[in-house]
Structure 1
Amino acid sequence: MSAALAEMMALSREVLWMHLVVFLRVGPVISLFPGFGEQTVSVRIKLALAIMFTIIVTPAAAPTLASLPPFGTQFFWLAITEAAIGLMIGIGLRLFLLALQTTGSIAAQATSLAQVFGNAGATPLPAMGHLLVVGGLALAMMLDLHVHVAAMVIATYGLFPVGVLPDPSQTSQWGLAQVRDAFALAFALAAPFLIVSVLYNLTLGIINRAMPQMMVIFVGAPVIVGGGMFLLFLLAPTMLHLWMTALQGFVNNPFGAR
């Protein structure tokens, strides 16, 4: 009986150690996960989500954890390496939400709507930014983003073995590429608003030169505000679709060749 109990205790200790190591990688991902990692979400809920993700990921990643060191050894090194990999994944996901926020800010600035409900949430954003962010998060959850991210985390164990720190030069290049793509995506999504703003200002300048006595600002301000809202009504579904397509491409191949 004592031998069987000792064997059971050793097995449970190994299982607990495996889950702890996986938690070190999953925790940073959940803390930066779009939707789950928001400031309005309680820390207890984030911890519960991280534990549930760990329980889901560990059995699937168990075959790749064969080189896991013995229980309790190299814990600090594992904490550094696994947290670094988790932060890479989390930051890559978070940049897509920042791209959506930047899109709303650019569009609002271009259409004179930047000061409308600017502090409605935890992150100061114009009304357009809040609308796009909430719509994007709802669309991502409807399309099971959390399930695809769990599969992505499992796949990272084949790319980054446990206890191996990612190459700094490749990581920096990957990070720069992610930031570049996030700003490019934000500008591309906000491009229609910028084009309309340029055309509006050119037209307003021509009218002002043709009729100096006319107060064109009293006519032009309602036009650009109404036009911006109408343009958002028309383009928001397409913008969110393009954003979700880019996000799904990242989740399917986060560290692929560019």
Structure 2
Amino acid sequence: MEWINQLPAFLLIFVRILAFLATLPVFSYRNVPNIFKIAFSLFFAYIIFFTLDAPAIGIDATFFLLIIKEVLIGLLLGLIASILFYAIQVAGAFIDIKMGFLIANVMDPQTGAQTPLTGGFLYAFAVLFLLVTDGHHLLLDGIFYSYAYVPVEEMNVQFGGESVMETAAGAVLAMFVIAFQMAFPIVGALFLVDVALGMMSRAVPQMNVFVVGLPLKIFLGLPIMLLMLPAFFWLVTNLVDEMVITMRMLLELFEGA
């Protein structure tokens, strides 16, 4: 009956993984069944449990505090990854502003929120690229090695430290920088189209710029978007690397707290 003494440690591992999957990109989508998330968390926790040599933990008041700590660590790690991955949606919003698609947001069945048309298009490509290149394995690698930085029995974890807040703010800043890099080719080209239309409106006042400009931007924006897809996939690769680095930095800050 020694496994009963190890059961609290297994539950702590399971709680951190389940909280991590609740906010992690791809795994947290609404079209992923909850029974799959729970079963995958149990399977992953089973593997990690026999890898870590977890200590015996008693069920007392400290155990419930450890559960809260595990939930917060899992949610924060998954949230940091999600914030960076939403750079694709932000880039799509930047593009839609210039192309005129922002007035036609659609409901995303994966998240249940309204998303820009171009953002949903690019986001679908990014998710497929993430799965094909095994990028999701890197994200799961982050939660696996999190137990080396913050063991399950560790209680001295300061979530509100100044360095932790700076890392979170840096992740938001990196999200906007990467989003701008993704959207810049199209936004820059369409800005030149606006400049050309402004010059034409001064030269030919009889021409209705608003009637001509909207279809012209769509006609030019879609081919430019296809041409920028190779660079977009390169930026998605850098985005995944940035997600892994930020998660590792956050864990190092938790370890040094």
Alignment match, 1:21: 12
* Larger mean Cα displacement after TM superposition, 143-152 or 204-213: 143-152
Tell me how large the CA RMSD over aligned residues is. 2.2
Select which of 48, 72, 79 maps to 1:57. 48
- Give the deviation of 1:117 after TM superposition: 5.8
1:43 and 2:42 equivalent? no
Q: CA distance change for structure 1 residues 132 and 173 in 2, over 3 Å: closer, same or farther?
A: same
Structure 2 CA distance, aligned partners of 1:142 and 1:227?
Answer: 30
Matched, 1:201 2:194: yes
* Structure 2 CA distance for partners of 1:26 and 1:214, relative to 1, 3 Å: same
| Inter-partner Cα distance in structure 2 for 1:58 and 1:110 | 51
Measured against aligned partners, the alpha-carbon deviations of 1:61-109 in whole angstroms (never above 9, x if no partner) come to x14x44x533556221101211111112101111123111111111111
Task: State the secondary structure of the residue aligned to 2:32.
Answer: coil
Partner of 2:66: 78
1:209 shift after superposition:
0.4
Residue type at the aligned position of 2:222: M
Tell whether the 8 Å contact from 1:103 to 1:129 is kept in structure 2 after alignment. yes
Question: What does residue range 244-255 of structure 1 map to in structure 2 within 5 Å?
Answer: 244-252=237-245, 254-255=247-248
Shift in Å, 1:146: 3.3
Alignment partner, residue 107 of structure 1: 95
1:239 and 2:232 aligned: yes
**What's the counterpart of residue 135 of structure 2?**
145
| 1:140 Cα offset (Å) | 1.1
Distance 1:112 1:20 in 2: 50
Secondary structure at 1:113's aligned position in 2? coil
For residues 142-186 of structure 1, the C-alpha deviation after alignment (integer angstroms, 9 at most, x for no partner) is 222332223221222222233332352222121111111111111
Mark the structure with the bigger radius of gyration: 1
SS of the aligned residue for 1:148 comes to: helix
| 1:120 CA drift (Å) | 5.3
Structure 1 residues 136, 57: closer, same or farther in 2, change over 3 A?
farther
Aligned equivalent of 1:190? 183
Contact 1:104 1:126 in 2 (8 A): yes
Question: Which residue of structure 2 lines up, in the alignment, with residue 136 of structure 1?
Answer: 126
Contact map agreement 2:85 2:239 (CA 8 A) in 1: no
TM-score normalised by the chain length of structure 2: 0.86
Please point out which of 89, 94, 111 is paired with 2:82. Answer: 94
Tell me how far 1:127 sits from its aligned partner. Answer: 2.1
Following superposition, the deviation at residue 129 of structure 1 comes to 1.0
Unaligned runs of 5+ in 1: 1-8
Q: Which amino acid aligns with 1:193?
A: I
| Aligned amino acid, residue 121 of structure 2 | L
Summarize the Cα distance change of 1:87–1:143 in structure 2 as closer, same or farther, 3 Å threshold: same
- Please, which moves more after superposition, 193-202 or 203-212? 193-202
Amino acid paired to 1:238: A
Q: Output the CA distance in 2 between the equivalents of 1:76 and 1:224.
A: 57
Q: Does the CA contact (< 8 Å) of 1:13 and 1:71 recur in 2?
A: no
Instruction: Tell me what 2:255 maps to.
Output: none
**What whole-Å deviation, never above 9, does each CA across 1:25-70 have from its counterpart, x for those lacking one?**
111110111111012323222222222222233233x14x44x533
Distance in 2 separating the partners of 1:120 and 1:82? 30
Counterpart selection for 1:12 from 3, 21, 25: 3
Q: Do the aligned residues in 1 keep the contact of 2:186 with 2:224 (CA within 8 Å)?
A: yes
Query: Percentage identity across aligned positions?
Result: 22
Taking structure 1 as the reference length, the TM-score comes to 0.86
Counterpart CA distance in 2 for 1:105 and 1:53 is 36
